[in-house]
Each structure stands twice: as C-alpha cells, then as structure tokens.
Structure 1
C-alpha cells in the first residue's frame, strides 16, 4: 500500500511495514464481527493499539506523528478499529487523572472499551451533576465492542466518567464502520466520576486521529482506483492511457496527500488547527472515495471491489466523530465565547 504523506524515518517506516504485513496476513476490510475481533487481537499483540500512550499507562510513548501514521494505516484496513483505538488513547490521557486504574489497564490491553464524546455533541443528551442522578441518551458510540465505559468531555477541563454498570446498550444500524458495532446508550447513573484535567490534549488527539483515519480511507480508495485502471483494458489499452482517467487518478492522490499532510502538520496546541485538519481530511475521505467508485464505473458498487465500502466508511466516520459539533465548538472558541457545558455556559 502506498504512503502519501511526508518522508518517514526508519522507525516509522518499520511501523508502516509491520501494519501492512499484518493486514496482508488477515482478510483486510472484512466487516464480519469475528474478523474484527481477530484483527483487534492482532493489533493489540503487535503493540499498536495504544502506541502513543505513555509507557506508565500501557502504551509505548510514541510521538504524535508515529501515532497518526498507525491510525492512517488502520484507516486503510480497519477504520472502525482505528476510531476505537483513537478513543482508547484519548481516554487514557484522562483516566490517568482519575481513580479507575482497573479500567485504564483494560483499555490499554484492549480488554475494555471506552467511548469519548463531547458534551456539545449532537449525539449526547444527558443531564445531571456529580451530586445527583444522571440520566439521558447517547445516540451512538463506535468502539468495536458491545459495551463500553463512556467519558463525556465537558468544557475546558471537566470530564465525566460513566462505567458500564450505569449504562444499557442497543445496536444501531449504520451505513458503514460495521466493525465498530455501533450502539446507542441509555444512561441512568446514581453518580459519575468527575475527572478534572486540561482536555485540549485529548481533543487534539481525537480530532487528528479522525483525520488520519479518513486520510487512510482516501489513500486506500486512491490506490484501489489506480490498480483497477492499470489492469483494466478498454479500446485496446489500459484505462490509464485515457487522459481523463489519469486526471481523476491524480486528483484522488492529491486529495489523499493533502489530507494526511494537513493532519501531520497541524498544531496540536490549537483547537482551531486540529479541527480544521480533521474537517479537511474527513471531506477528502468522502470525496476521494466517491471518485474511486466513479473510476470503476458500475463495478465500483460491487462487493467484490472495496470502493463501495470506502464510501460507506468515510460517511459513517464523519457522522461518528460529529464534525459539525466540533466545528461549532471551535468557532465559539475563536470568537471568545464561553464554553457550553452540561451545567450551562462557563467562562
């Protein structure tokens, strides 16, 4: 598989090769639950599941660029697992400041799942406080597991942790990301644990991760279109001999390249920068996947080709991360407006 980002260091190139080899040894892209579990176990065993988490939290302490490289590769092969991994790593940065050490250990070794959402998300409708009962509904979580703990990011420095025993789960049908085992959540909790910590690092990781996964989808879609065009003959030669086909292919590669380059170069200390990078990459994922289908014509919609899946996954990823709410939050921050929290606006 191609890499459309900037030049990789030797260690990063080895990580990329390891994940490519892992994908080739499995049936990449399968949406069946059994395969998702097999792939998840293999990713955990390889040490890539929470690669970017500090070593004392169960990770390997990889830098952000290497972490995003891993998530771009997961986006190519198993985007649902990529998003679950991103949430696990973001959760660990928060759980490090709380009391749930057992949950942290489970998240790190892949035996426990956790969903991380914004209080402002359109998916979240929850009311309560740490002194009283919490109730509400979360329309969707996507963690590649049937059940999970939930962390709701609330304002600049408050995160509410709800353990599985306070939650009930129901399957939700979605267009793509089938491996995510999307669930709706009903919340009825006597209490929640309030974890107070600076949330920008977790937000930045989530948004850049979503962008990297989308860039991976775009890259895989561009590769699929290029391979098809090179192998398919029409009018006495390969499709790549037709100028309009070549132009479409280069536009797809340009989109994938811009997506991962923007994500990798974003300023992780700026909410506006990481949100813009995520939005650009999510749009590239949808656009390039659509162009890839067009490159295959009617064949693009057949299950024997991966292009239809890329379109479904790109669209579902955008919904799962709720980019609209993220952009609205970033706009409020740029305008100097107070944060909207579960307890009302805060300064």
Structure 2
C-alpha cells in the first residue's frame, strides 16, 4: 500500500475536504497513474450528497480521469511508464459473464466495480476516484490517450463522451439520417459533436431559445425549441433517432411524436421515474422504440478516444482548482457551466 491524497465527502451534508488514504501497490496486471486532470460529473454531486440513497463514505469522487503512467505490473503489455492513460466510470467487472465476454463490461451481470462509491471485488475495500493524485487500476480498465489531444478537455470524454458515443454507434447513426439531441449540457454538447461527426443532420432540441447560438457553434445544423408547439408540429414524424440527455423525470410524449416510423429515442440521462405516463399509441402507431444506454465497454471507450483523435473532438471545459470544487458543485446545481468542469490536479499540491 502507498499513501495518496485527495478531496473527499465524509457525509452527505458537509463540503468536500482534504483527505489522505491508501492505494494498493500495483499488482501484475495493474498500472499506477499520476492523475493530471479529472472532470466533474453531475453524478459526482448526486453521489456526494447521497441523492440516490446509495452513497458510501468517505467518498473520493471522480470518474473522468486523465494522467500519466508512473508504474506498471510485471505482466502489463498494454502500457509503458510515461504513457498517457484514461480511466472512466468503472475499474473492474466479473470478467466471465456474457456481457464481459462481449466487451460490454458496463452491463456486467454481477455488477461492474465503479471507480468510486463501490467496493473492490477481492478485498471489499472502498474504491476511491479521481479527485486525487494517484490511482491504481487493472490495465483492462484503462485506455490509451493520444498526446495530440488537449488532455484537460479529454477528461470528460471518459464519461460524457462515451455515454453519448455508445448509443449513437450502437444504433448506427450516420449519413442520410436526421438526429435530434435533446438537452444542451455536459452530455448534450458531446452528442451534437458526435452526431455531426458521424455525418447525420443534427438538430439541437432545447427548451431554451437562448442556447441556440451555442448549439450552432458546437455543430448543430438546426435548433428546435420544444416549447414552440408550431415548430414541434412541423418536425413531427421526421427524426430517425433522438438522443435524450435530460437528467431528470420529464414528459416523453412530445419527443416520441418527433420520431419517424421505426425511429428510436434513447435515454442516457434520466435515472428517476418518467412522468407523465407515455401513451402507448405513440409507440404502437409508428413502431417506434424507447431505449436506454449506459456508458460503453472498454473496447468501445478506446474506439471513442481514437475517433476523437481522428476528428479533433474534445469537450468544452472550464478549469477549476481542487480547492474550489465545492463552489463548482454549487454552480452545477444552477447549470452554470459550459459544459464541463475539469479539475487541474496540480492544484492538489497546494493542499497542506
């Protein structure tokens, strides 16, 4: 074991504070990563404040991690010391179920081990995330980061990026299709970039007309304001695919009406109950589908990173110090960020 330091939530009510803890020494298949940058995901805030009633304390949040390899185990073939690497939302899985065997570790039938707020499979030790100076992870659960990308803006790709890339790839979004991205935030802004890069006609669907200019800057071909009933009617039955990034319960019926026959709307943001009820006729009448999607497996995450390098895609970020992470959380509550906070972990060295 070796000593690490970071910032932690010690309970649901208190702000994050400096925290010292132990990491395991790298095993034969492990890599040790000096963390350079860590994104701040909205789920970090939910978990720190126990909004989902499953939080484990003390908690070191952070699952959008970019850093440099400083040590490798004796059996590691994928990385060498000095390589750039990323770690996302999970650090282990059972590795033998049908999902794991198909490189879909995020759907592990025994439950994947999360980067934080989880327990290691062998020791039941709490996992601690990326608001820290170091992390040790099995090489399978780390991805290679090309040096050509802006590292600080790569960090959110490990969650917001793969969360939006995976469904677009799975449902084979591409040229000749009309794709709507619902909600312009950390997920939505990545959805626009990926849908456009896949060659689709990309429409930003938002309740806020003032977001239109930014959506066009990000690559959207058009902006549809969902509160405009005439505009929604004009777009009815015209979308091949909808990527719904809204993070809370909402009415799906107006959006389902936008789908063509055989169109699909995929939810990636809402984990809570969806209300009001969805009218069955809106699906049956057009053989439409409503589906869900969670992050991506490790092979697909590497594919996404390589795609980003090829197309010059990164997240739009605002840098913060670890000392200001509690203020960043308060701004997250107000949706006051374009479009992802990233912590410069160099700032951790200033913590006593």
Classify the TM-score, shorter chain. Answer: under 0.3
Q: State TM-score, norm by structure 2.
A: 0.27
Structure (1 or 2) with the greater strand fraction: 2
Structure (1 or 2) with the greater helix fraction: 1
Q: State TM-score, norm by structure 1.
A: 0.28
